Amino acid sequence: MKNTILRIIPVALLAASFLIGMLTVQGYVVAAEHDATTQADPMQFSRGAQTWANNCARCHNMRDAKSLRDDQWRVAIVHMRVRANLTGQEARDVLAFLQGSN
Ligand code: HEC
């Protein structure tokens, strides 16, 4: 009995340190991904304004950025991206511009 416990302890310690190590690595990876995706793109707003000016008054009057809330613009851009034939990047730029101007 005593022998079994003595044999289990090092294995348990090894497993515990492995788990802690994995969690730490995972924490770093998540933090790095978070930084990459939330990093501000300083040109996005002006690119968005340009794309908006070039595309969003082709079919209807220019909608004032202040006419919709952030969440409403998100939905509108999902629809208008298809109508205006925008790339994903262009749609994200326009959305950033509109949400930053309302
Ligand atoms: C190819 C034509 C076309 C282009 C380009 C276009 N739209 Fe539209 N848009 C429409 C049509 C048609 C509707 C109304 C029917 C609908 O919702 O699909 C509409 C509706 C909307 C609405 C909803 C209006 C309301 O009062 O409910 C918003 C907001 C809007 N567009 C914004 C935009 C923005 C921003 C862009 C530029 C990314 C854009 N549109 C480009 C055709 C277009």
Instruction: Name the token pair of 60.
Output: 């209807």
Assess whether pLDDT exceeds 90 at residue 3: no
Site to probe by mutation for ligand 1, drawn from 72, 79, 85, 86 as the one with most ligand atoms within 8 Å of Cβ, is 79
Same domain, 48 and 94: yes
Task: Give the domain range for residue 55.
Answer: 44-99
Same domain, 63 and 20: no
Taking the C-alpha atoms of residue 44 and residue 21, their distance in angstroms, rounded to an integer, is 38
Tell me the pLDDT tens digit for each residue of 73-88: 999 999 999 999 999 9
Q: Angle 88-79-69 (CA atoms, 0-180°, nearest 5)?
A: 95
Same domain, 58 and 85: yes
**Which pLDDT band, with edges at 50, 70 and 90, does 39 fall under?**
low
Query: Structure pTM?
Result: 0.72
List, chain by chain if needed, residues with CB within 6 Å of any ligand 1 atom. 52, 55-56, 58-60, 63, 68, 76, 79-80, 83-84, 86, 94
Same domain, 34 and 57: no
Residue 22 CA from chain centroid, whole number: 24
How many distinct structural domains can be found in the chain? 2
Same domain, 67 and 88: yes
* Whole-number pLDDT of residue 66: 96
Cβ neighbors of 102 (< 8 A, separation 6 or more) are 65, 66, 67, 68, 69, 70, 73
Same domain, 68 and 90: yes
Same domain, 95 and 49: yes
